[in-house]
Structure 1
Amino acid sequence: MKKFLTILCIGLSFVAQAQQTISGTITNSEKEPLFGVEVFVEELQKGTSTDESGYFELNNLPNNSIKLTIVFMGYKTQIKTIELEQEKTSLTIVLEESVFKMDEVIISTPFNKLQSENVMKVEKATITQLKNKGVVTLSEAISTLPGVSTISTGTGIGKPVIRGLRGNRVLVYSQGLRLENQQFGDEHGLGVDASSIESLEVIKGPASLLYGSDALGGVLYFNPVKFAPLNSFNFSGSQTFYSNTEGSNTSFSAKQSYNKWKFLANGSHNTHSDYKTPINERVTNTRFNETSFSTAIGYNSEQISSIVRFLFTKSIIGIPEEIGEQSTSKTKMLPHQDLTTKMLSLNNTFFLNNSKIATVFGYTENKRNEFEEHHDEHSGEEEGNHSEEELHEYEQMEAALQLKLDTYSYDVKWHLPKLKNIETVIGTQGIHQKNKNFGEEILIPNATINDLGVFVTAMYQIDLNSIQGGIRFDTRSISTELHEIQHENEIHVFEAIDKSFDNISASLGYKTMLFDKVISRFNFASGFKAPNLAELTSNGVHHGSNRFEVGNSALKQEQNFQSDISFEYKTDHFEFVVNGFYNHINDYIFITPTGELEDGFDVYSYTQDNAKLYGGEFGLHLHPHPLDWLHLNSNFEMVIGKQNNGDYLPLIPANKLTNTIRVEFNTTKMVQNGFAAISLENTFEQTNLSEFETKSNGYNLVNIGVGGTVKLKTVDLDVNLNMNNVFNTSYISHLSRLKSDGIHNIGRNFITSVKFKF
């Protein structure tokens, strides 16, 4: 903590001598001023909006080049690189109308280009867009994006799957930090709440060049909530109700921005009872409660921008085992998990003469407790001398598994001076991590992990052609302690290990325009994933997954080679996108049952084999003229995963086709951004099965939604009504961890949401 305060003081005491100001007027092609256009400088997290005359002004800017992002609904997004060589810069900006969605600025890639300019195809969506679909959790929201699925255990537990890869192969970033929360486990959620997030970006494929180990399958990059516009105060609150789980979500947000300083605070509480299946049975112990709070303080002068962010999340999640007691209680019961994550980050951007240095320093504390029943310890007269409430309280105090993970992170990037049409970034990243056990049982040992990576990447852009490439070196060391754990009549031994893994990865991408209409992207990359603690050292009962897991200290690191090809055809009223990929992975690590029993649990062990995954996504968007209010969308996604011996990989999502009809309208000045949508999700049967899987039948789900913004004098009300699984269809997802017990997924769910802001 002292290190962070010292760095913060240094940053905030860096006072500049000159003030730079940008002002201007924004109009449409008819020279009519546009009111409410968002003008934002991403690297400063500073923005404003135009007044009735189309005028905007931003001051206290660095004496450097900055990227000015101009965003307005119904118009093409623009990014302007402005050289601030004088105290005042005046601009006249004309926006072009666009009937399709606004082009997005991509933050997760090194050069922060518009999506249309990016060499790598990245999926992006705002939290508002995802919430309009009536999702229950953030994990469910992510799975609505093409190429992304979720391994679920009920409604409260979900982990992302990108093109068939999951767990430690999918890296999660929040507040500019790697999210480290024992993500090797499929049986707990993301550990991030939507209230602290503005938008998310999904990189599909190896992004190890920028992020290192664990980004072999892709990256989920959560952009934190923005500060309020310059010299303004914003406050908002929302309430959402869910009929199926009799659940609710309450959230608030308060923001204040001044010329140099800015502040924000967000919070939410999410609570749900056991979900109900279409056959009117509640799945016992799928209840969960989540509480989240985040705050941030920002400061910027002419030569530095500093932001301190803090995030706290606490989740109490039931571990379902059967359909038993039928209850709508939201009170925790055994077995359950108690997960707590705290993240502290300091983001600095230092503006030099013709370049800039961006740094992120952070600390993450994750506590993971799993509680189970201990009735065997209260047998006979001892048990009879205690009430049921006393026994329950005792069990709650004794977590079978208690893990504490402390992670210190750093990330330093130097954006070198631009040389003609070449942009270059060099950087270094790393973590220092300690895992400690405090419970009566051990799944993974006490351990220390150190990561170090260095990389260089460059982008050459001329006319409609862009080439981007780079190279990276990483090293990871893992050392563990010897543990001998007495369990019933046996001793489980965790042998000490001391291992290191080194890797060189590279990438090369090319974007061009074919036939003046087709944006074409060709990307080739290698990535890697070092074995994690669970894969190397597990030797115990994992109550979250109801199995006995055995690690393999002889595992090698995974190395992959992936090619991606993307074609995007776009006119004013028609869009067609095709993405294809082939991913070869050497020494793919997976867990498989051995057929043995240990302590009454099935034994699973880790092994590896070469593997390949291939498939892609297909998208179609029709916006017929002159029906400007109508949008027709169709998306198809598929992935096939096989071992080198021809056997299929486990937990590969089934092919899915989603068709959506969406109507957008602005009825009056009082009702704005109105929409009505109906979608049909066709999930095909999954017959490409691994040795221990069973076939999953196909199913069709219909979802509908309607909403809009009601503008009152001083308050805006966002109202959304959704009904998911309209026909209460019975189905079991191939990626449901309750599938082996024959437990169906959630039935019909009505979602009502109201958000006010002023």
Structure 2
Amino acid sequence: MLTVVAQKKTIIGKITSNQQPLENINVKIMSTNQSTKSNSLGDYQLNTFGKADVVIQFSGIGYQSAKVKVSIIGDSLRYNIDLKTQAADLNDVVITGVNRATALRKSPVPIAVLSKKTMDQNVNTNLIDAIVKGIPGVTAVTTGPNVSKPFIRGLGYNRVLTLYDGLRQEGQQWGDEHGIEVDEYGISRAEVVKGPASLTYGSDALAGVINMIPLNPILEDGELQGDFTTNYQSNNGLIASSLGLAYRKSDWKYTFRASGKTAHNYQNKVDGLVYGTAFREYNLSASARVDKSWGYSKTAITYYDNLMEIPDGSRDSLSRKFTRQILDNGDDIKNRPIVPDDQLNSYAINPLHQHIQHFRFYNTSNFKLGNSDLNVLIGGQQSIRREYNHPTAPDQAGLFVMLNTLNYDIKYNLPDFSGIESTIGINGMFQSNRSKDATDFPIPDYNLFDVGAFFFARKSFGKIDVSGGFRADRRNMEWKNFYVASNPQTGFGEKVSEDAAASNLQFPAFEKKYYGLSGSLGLTYNISEKLLIKANISRGYRAPNITEIGSNGLDPGAHIVYLGNRTFKPEFNLQQDLGVIAYLRDADLSVEVFNNHIQNYIYQSRLTDENGNPVVLVPGNLTYQYQQSKAQLYGAEVSINLHPSQLKWLSFNNSMAYVVGLNKNQDLLDLHGSEAKYLPFIPPLQIRSELKATAQKYIGFLNKPYVKVDASIFADQDKFYALDNTETYTKGYTLFNAGFGSAILSGKGKVLMNIFIQVDNVFNVAYQSHLNRLKYFEYYNSSPNGRSGIYNMGRNFSFKMIIPF
């Protein structure tokens, strides 16, 4: 018997960019299953059998892909390559919503990427603000400058799944005034998936996914690297700073970051200083990662602490000056004392505030198994939220809840078979929420268990890339009888046992299982290297969240009494996406259109009696009841970015985003007509334009400085949910901004610091965003100046400095 053994050949080398080693660059021998990634020193090694001539592909996030043909003479070959960086390209590699690192051009799902460089060049008070300014189709519902809840194409709350380093973010994100507990200074990149096609996640990705990816510096052995960031903003006196450190020793890499922010009340020319909008935020994070031949393992911990005031919008009826609550019993919201000027300008947090703490501890590991690999993510989180709303007892929390979550995520990337890349996985979470020493109980103490399994695959057929898969989910939600009573000493509510005197059953016991099947199928047609068409159809699933099915009480921070509905069914949607993208010599062009049909859509509506009058269960607070119906959302995003090849210093970037949300509840439409035609919280037509000039060489001690002007145009929003005055018409507006930035060099050409100077709302326009909840913080039918509610931030100067070392 004759046995033929193919000769093993080895390819080794180093991957760099500007002579700096690159980690995590994908290296693949084309037309084979042989692939690997570069290590922290940029080194890689590949084995091949038989052929002496092979084509190697190099690809990585932020770098232009390269394909090279090499000849292996003898048993081995060394091939080094220096990759070029890219600001944006179809070959940019993403990791969110796909089964493994994937070039943007190969994914039919709409995915957008925002770099730290872009975030640094804008004025932001939180990370979501930065994403909203940088990615068309993403908006935010805001409650002052420190709370921004992301919406994607008109859908938000639990329909947008937020991730930190791939770990599902769990911080009671269903609430109106609950922000995202993430340190913006520690994020190097954000990836946004638009739509429900991200099958690697379970419930709550109905609208899409936002993955916030922390910094991962490239280090030489024994090297200590760091940066110090400081930021000042004039409008609310924001003072922020952040210190980051990174150190590498042999196979281990360690990172650490500490950040802090403080701000007094923000201001505009209509309201002056807006009482109740000051905040103070602290962040700590640390990680340790080891890279070995078998893969890598990273363990990380983060801590977020935020003190944030609670605005309620109460004013003096004649002067329109803000007033403050000083009584619990006997409080008359229209007869309160005016806030003194020294309290409006103070950095001190007033007695009526929220205290949010978030702890995160997780491990993410990758194990190489020949031509396949296993990814395991295990994480624990604890979110503690206190809302202090009793002026006569400032140390007594009105709301005090503790949310504990254990996340698990296991994905196995199977060996390539006939050119098919496939992944199977299982993920979910265990979760419990408990009320502590509180007086108000908007939701019960509940337990939740999630589990889901998925299969995802992709394959290329010449110029066509096809990908898709399916997923099955199950969620179990349950709670026991929850009793409350009035404390005879304080008069406040408290949680009691069933046999306590005068106990009231506020939340009867409940248990239910929710099931969901979702799927996605799409293709990308590569007309050329720089022009392609994408099409995708996907079905998403979302189980009702705790407030939608279980709420029955006052949320002090929102000033709203929420009423849930236990009979709600899960939401399902069917979305079609079509996109055309071109990266030409002088312009980048993209057009994306979508159509989204939702069954069992859940939304808030003001509760009224049979005469149409608002129901008031707690004086001074609105009452909302959740509704469920069919819905449709459709719209488009268009980007036209001009960068003339003959004028390399000039760029002119433009984007447009438009979405319409229709309520398909026919019974409601027959009864109320156009008042109920549209969905709530739908952003108006938005156009953003930026003209930027960037020097192509040094100017003295300035390294390629830039100057830019930009405009944000928001149209009138006359397509709103008007039933029971839940929403009102919002007038359009235009904001102009300007900025300058540069790296400052030493005499030896080393970067000493990066500076960013920005002015937002240059002309101090008085405006109200349609997604600004403070617009509805009003207690009078009319006012002396003819204006209602609270306006957004006025002119704001920002100075940011980043010092690397």
Give 1:328's aligned residue.
Answer: 345
Map residues 110-509 of structure 1 onto 2, 5 A cutoff. Answer: 110-144=99-133, 145-231=135-221, 232-279=223-270, 281-322=272-313, 323-324=322-323, 325=339, 326=341, 327-375=344-392, 394-395=393-394, 397-438=395-436, 439-487=438-486, 491=504, 493-509=506-522
State the distance in 1 between where 2:516 and 2:263 align.
44
Give the partner amino acid of 1:351: K
2:739 is the counterpart of 1:739: no
Identify the residue that residue 5 of structure 1 maps to in structure 2.
none
Task: Report the residue type matching 2:43 in the other structure.
Answer: L
Give 1:300 shift.
Answer: 1.4
Q: Are the structure 2 counterparts of residues 461 and 287 from structure 1 closer, same or farther at C-alpha, using a change threshold of 3 Å?
A: same
**190-199 or 509-518, larger mean C-alpha shift:** 509-518
Answer whether contact 1:195 1:267 (CA < 8 A) is retained: no
SS of the residue aligned with 1:219?
strand
Deviation at 1:305, TM superposition (A): 0.6
Q: What SS is found at the alignment partner of 2:185? A: helix
Q: Which deviates more, 421-430 or 124-133? A: 124-133
The aligned residue for residue 81 of structure 2 is 93
CA distance in 2, matches of 1:661, 1:679: 6
Give the TM-score taking structure 2 as reference length.
0.83
1:598 pairs with one of 579, 596, 617? 617
Alignment match, 2:654: 634
Give 1:470 deviation, angstroms: 0.4
- Give, in whole Å, the separation in 2 of the partners of 1:21 and 1:515: 30
Alignment RMSD (CA, Å): 2.8
The code of the aligned residue for 2:734 comes to: N
Aligned length: 703
What SS class does the counterpart of residue 738 from structure 1 fall into? helix
Summarize the Cα distance change of 1:258–1:77 in structure 2 as closer, same or farther, 3 Å threshold: farther
- 1:444-486 Cα shifts (integer Å, max 9, x gaps): 1111100000010100113321000101110000011211212
The alpha-carbon deviation at position 41 of structure 1 amounts to: 3.8
Compared with structure 1, are the counterparts of its residues 111 and 463 closer, same or farther at alpha carbon in structure 2 (3 Å cutoff)? farther
2:540 aligned with 1:527, yes or no? Answer: yes
Q: Which residue of 2 aligns with 1:386?
A: none
Using the TM superposition, give the Cα deviation of residue 581 of structure 1 relative to its aligned residue in structure 2, in angstroms. Answer: 0.4
Cα distance 1:274–1:423, how it changes in 2: closer, same or farther (>3 A)? Answer: same
Match of 1:550 among 557, 563, 570: 563
Structure 2 counterpart of 1:378:
none
Displacement after TM superposition at 1:709 (Å): 1.0
Compared CA separation, residues 367 and 78, structure 1 to 2 (3 A): farther
- TM-superposed deviation, 1:79: 8.5
Letter in 1 for 2:139: S
Please report how far the alpha carbon of residue 543 of structure 1 lies from its aligned counterpart in structure 2 after TM superposition. 1.1
Structure 2 residue 744 is matched with structure 1 residue 756: no
1:416 positional shift = 0.3
Distance across 1 between alignment mates of 2:201 and 2:282: 29
Q: Which residue of 1 aligns with 2:663?
A: 643
Q: Percent identity?
A: 28
Shift of 1:602: 2.5
Q: Is there any run of 5+ residues in structure 2 with no aligned partner, and where?
A: 1-9, 28-35, 50-54, 314-321, 324-338, 492-501, 609-614, 670-676, 779-788
**How far apart are the structure 1 equivalents of 2:57 and 2:361?**
27
Contact 2:90 2:104 in 1 (8 A): no
Give the match's secondary structure for 1:591: strand
Q: Is the 8 A contact 1:71 1:78 kept in 2?
A: no
Question: Which one-letter code corresponds to 1:610 in the other structure?
Answer: K
- 1:160 to 1:100, Cα distance in 2 relative to 1, 3 A: closer
Report the counterpart of residue 6 of structure 1 in structure 2. none
Q: Deviations over 1:293-318 (max 9, x none)?
A: 11000011101310001111011111
Please, which moves more after superposition, 109-118 or 153-162?
Answer: 109-118
Give 1:58's aligned residue.
43
Contact 1:404 1:435 in 2 (8 A): yes
Task: Determine the structure 1 residue equivalent to 2:715.
Answer: 684
Find the aligned partners of 1:203 and 1:26 in 2 and give their Cα distance.
29
Q: Contact (CA 8 Å) 1:341, 1:367: kept in 2 or not?
A: yes
CA gap 1:61/1:135 in 2 versus in 1, 3 angstroms: farther
- The answer to whether the Cα contact below 8 Å between 1:41 and 1:67 also exists between their aligned partners in 2 is no
How many Å separate the matches in 1 of 2:24 and 2:282?
31
1:140 to partner: Cα distance: 1.2
1:238 to partner: Cα distance: 1.1
Residues 634 and 721 of structure 1, relative CA distance in 2, 3 Å threshold: same
Q: 1:699 aligns with which of 733, 746, 750?
A: 733
Opposite residue 692 of structure 2, the aligned amino acid is R
Superposed CA deviations along residues 315-357 of structure 1, whole A, max 9, x for unmatched, are: 1111111234342211111321111111111111011111000
Match of 1:105 among 93, 99, 109: 93
Matched, 1:565 2:578: yes
C-alpha distance in structure 2 between counterparts of 1:176 and 1:292, whole Å: 19
Corresponding letter in the other structure for 2:263: H
Quick one: which amino acid aligns to residue 561 of structure 1? L
Q: Deviations over 1:721-741 (max 9, x none)?
A: 000000001100000001113
Please name the residue that 1:391 is paired with: none
Deviation of 1:207 (Å) = 3.5
Larger radius of gyration: 2
Deviations 1:471-523 (A, max 9, x none): 11100000112112125699461111000001111110100023775311101
Deviation at 1:362, TM superposition (A): 0.6
Instruction: Please say if 1:674 is aligned against 2:737.
Output: no
Residue 36 of structure 1 and its aligned partner are, at CA, apart by 4.0
Residues 89-113 of structure 1: CA deviation (Å, up to 9, x unaligned) = 6224375797966853201022311
TM-score (norm 1): 0.88
SS at match of 1:40: coil
| Secondary structure of 1:628 counterpart | coil
The change in CA–CA distance for 1:362 and 1:483 in structure 2 (over 3 A counts) is same
CA contact (8 A) 2:198 2:209 kept: no
Contact 2:26 2:60 in 1 (8 A): no
Q: Partners in 1 of 2:478 and 2:56 — Cα distance? A: 44
